[in-house]
A and B are shown apart, each in its own frame.
Chain A
Amino acid sequence: MPSSPAPQVKAIGKDLVRFEDVALRYGAGPVVLGGVTFHLAPGSFHFLGGASGAGKSSLLSMIYLARRPSSGRIELFGRDVASLTRLDAAMMRRKIGVVFQDFRLLDHLTALENVALPLKVSGQRDEKVRRHVAELLAWVGLAEHLESYPPTLSGGQKQRVAIARAVVGRPSLLIADEPTGNVDDRMAVRLLYLFEELNKLGTTIVIATHNESLVARFNHPIVRLADGGVRVERAQTGAQTRPSKGSAA
């Protein structure tokens, strides 16, 4: 897979995500990420690759504003995250859908309620929401589990609920941390198609995965973490899906 000489993806228009020499360390511990610089254009689709423990989840957590960098500068939607107030951060997070590696579903809520949560949080309480959420859950194969509680669902089912929750609000930026880790290949491909459909509608996608066969099957650039830094590998030509708009490919 060809690599780009500089660790950055050239943006078309204003970048949606900009990391400039970002470093992260937890407390007084060792540096987890250092000197990370890359830019993601609006509407782009990237995989985030790297060995286990390379810092993929840490990098994603800074994009979805769960952590602030120890040094460097992060811009999201054209704003320096260091200047965000708590209210600004909340408003910005509403534009970001996240699929967490550990799902983070609320066990006391049904699958339907879990998926509807981002809409509830943003003040959408119309009963039409129920139909929309039910349709989305049906799309990910959980039509029979609308009223099921997470502890009664399998790992794969939980993962699909988590994905439905991340995409239900039509986010501008979707971040997924190993979103296909608990589903079979058929469902994994199907979910990737869902992400591509969202991407077609303008959503910027970043998916962390170490499923190389899945990465190879879809034609998108890879932001690869290694040795605490980052390099961007351009997408292979001739892969089965068309290139996503706005990316460096």
Chain B
Amino acid sequence: MLFRRSDVPLKGDASGRYLPWLAAVMVYLASLALVCALTMNRAITHWQEGLSGSLTIQIPHDADAAGAAGAPERLERVVALLMATPGVREAEVLEPAEIERLLRPWLGGAAGLDDLPVPQLVSVSFDPAAAPDVDKLAREVAGVAPGAVIDTHRAWLGKVRDLARSVQWVAVLVVALIGACAIAIVAFATRMGLSVHGNVIQLLHLIGARDSYVAGQFQAHALTFVLRGGIAGLVLAVGTVFLIGQGLRGSDVMLLPELTLQPLDWSALLLLPVFVALVAMLTARVTVMRTLGRMP
């Protein structure tokens, strides 16, 4: 108990009052950015896994009456060809009702498909390890159903992945900027503390304190206060993520990734305040040692 109190009364100065609040805000923002980066990463993986073993064949609508009459046969020939192709697991013809459901977000609920030149769609899933040669398959499909197009989703997936990666990098940049801000704020608060408590520090030196002893006072202060604020910021961030997750779950917005965290993500998130506090501690130590080291 005798030695528990800090010799340098940092608790009572401005840095003691504001540092926890600043730490809370920084950790809150960094947590949200981190969640964003982690969610995007998992979404990209999820999209890639979901689409890597599939493709879609579009058989265009034939306006010609005779052509329209032959549509069921063309579809059968395509399905038969697909089922005979090595590696193909399943070829599912999408029913008009299903196609209507997929188009509803764009065309509205009132629109019927009867009057629209909607193509027939076949969803094909295959073994990614034994994927068929898409170019060869396209030629064979065109042979039995002229005008049919194979969509491997690669172009779409590429664009979405690029966008997701950009968002992810922005999130990482935000975390890095917040880290830089944390370092600057702690360095400034430490310098201010050194200046305000110059007489106490001089006394400590005169009774034999080493620079590292003085640094220890500042680093303990930075660690405690930033950790305290950081935990508060993390709690707020988790609450925010929970609310956003609930909001996304209730919406029917397609493509948006589900905002749920895996155990590893939680570990990263929970370690964030500890990491920020350790960075603050190190910053305080380096600042004190460098400042005092320049003194005669």
By a beta-carbon cutoff of 8 Å, the part of chain A in contact with chain B is: 64-66, 68, 86-87, 90-91, 93-94, 98, 104, 106, 108-109, 112-113, 116-118, 120-122, 125, 127, 129-130, 133, 165
Given A93-B207, A120-B3, 10 more A-B residue pairs with CB atoms under 8 Å apart are A64-B206, A66-B202, A93-B206, A104-B203, A108-B9, A109-B7, A116-B2, A118-B207, A118-B208, A129-B2
- Can you list, as one digit per residue, whether each of B187-210 has a CB less than 8 Å from chain A (1) or not (0)? 000000000000110111111111
- The reply to whether B7 and A117 contact each other, CB–CB distance below 8 Å, is yes
- The reply to whether B3 and A98 contact each other, CB–CB distance below 8 Å, is no
Which residues of chain A are near B206, meaning CB under 8 Å? 64-66, 93, 98, 104
- The reply to whether B12 and A122 contact each other, CB–CB distance below 8 Å, is no
Given contacts A116-B3, A129-B2, contact A94 B200 (CB under 8 A): no
Which residues of chain B are near A117, meaning CB under 8 Å? 7, 204, 207
- Can you list, as one digit per residue, whether each of B244-260 has a CB less than 8 Å from chain A (1) or not (0)? 00000000000000000
Which residues of chain A are near B50, meaning CB under 8 Å? none
- The reply to whether B210 and A87 contact each other, CB–CB distance below 8 Å, is yes
Taking residues whose C-beta sits less than 8 angstroms from the other chain, chain B's interface range is 20 to 34
Which residues of chain A are near B3, meaning CB under 8 Å? 116, 120, 125
- The reply to whether B203 and A86 contact each other, CB–CB distance below 8 Å, is no
A-B contact pairs, 18 of them (CB 8 A): A86-B292, A87-B210, A90-B208, A90-B210, A90-B211, A93-B205, A94-B208, A98-B207, A104-B199, A109-B5, A112-B2, A113-B5, A120-B3, A121-B204, A121-B208, A121-B213, A122-B208, A125-B2
Considering the complex, give the chain B residue whose CB is closest to the CB of A166. B207
- The reply to whether B207 and A91 contact each other, CB–CB distance below 8 Å, is no
B108 interface residue, CB < 8 Å from A?
Answer: no
By a beta-carbon cutoff of 8 Å, the part of chain B in contact with chain A is: 2-3, 5, 7, 9, 12, 199-200, 202-211, 213, 292-293, 295-296
- Shortest beta-carbon distance from A171 to chain B in Å: 9
Considering the complex, give the chain A residue whose CB is closest to the CB of B208. A94
- Shortest beta-carbon distance from A76 to chain B in Å: 13
- Shortest beta-carbon distance from A66 to chain B in Å: 6
Q: DSSP class of A's interface residues: helix, strand, loop or mixed?
A: helix
Pick from B2, B9, B209, B296 the residue with the most CB of A within 10 Å: B2
Please measure, in the bound complex, the distance between the C-alpha atom of A163 and the C-alpha atom of B37, giving whole angstroms.
60
Please measure, in the bound complex, the distance between the C-alpha atom of A68 and the C-alpha atom of B295, giving whole angstroms.
12
- Shortest beta-carbon distance from A233 to chain B in Å: 29
Please measure, in the bound complex, the distance between the C-alpha atom of A242 and the C-alpha atom of B200, giving whole angstroms.
39
Which residues of chain A are near B296, meaning CB under 8 Å? 68
Please measure, in the bound complex, the distance between the C-alpha atom of A206 and the C-alpha atom of B115, giving whole angstroms.
110
Which residues of chain A are near B210, meaning CB under 8 Å? 86-87, 90
Please measure, in the bound complex, the distance between the C-alpha atom of A49 and the C-alpha atom of B295, giving whole angstroms.
31
- The reply to whether B203 and A106 contact each other, CB–CB distance below 8 Å, is yes
Which residues of chain B are near A127, meaning CB under 8 Å? 2
Which residues of chain B are near A129, meaning CB under 8 Å? 2
Pick from B12, B210, B211 the residue with the most CB of A within 10 Å: B210
Considering the complex, give the chain B residue whose CB is closest to the CB of A121. B209
Please measure, in the bound complex, the distance between the C-alpha atom of A52 and the C-alpha atom of B206, giving whole angstroms.
24
Please measure, in the bound complex, the distance between the C-alpha atom of A44 and the C-alpha atom of B295, giving whole angstroms.
33
Which residues of chain B are near A109, meaning CB under 8 Å? 5, 7
Which residues of chain B are near A91, meaning CB under 8 Å? 208
- Shortest beta-carbon distance from B224 to chain A in Å: 16
- The reply to whether A106 and B200 contact each other, CB–CB distance below 8 Å, is yes
- Shortest beta-carbon distance from A20 to chain B in Å: 20
- The reply to whether B5 and A86 contact each other, CB–CB distance below 8 Å, is no
Q: Top 4 nearest A-B pairs by Cβ distance?
A: A94-B208, A93-B208, A108-B9, A90-B210
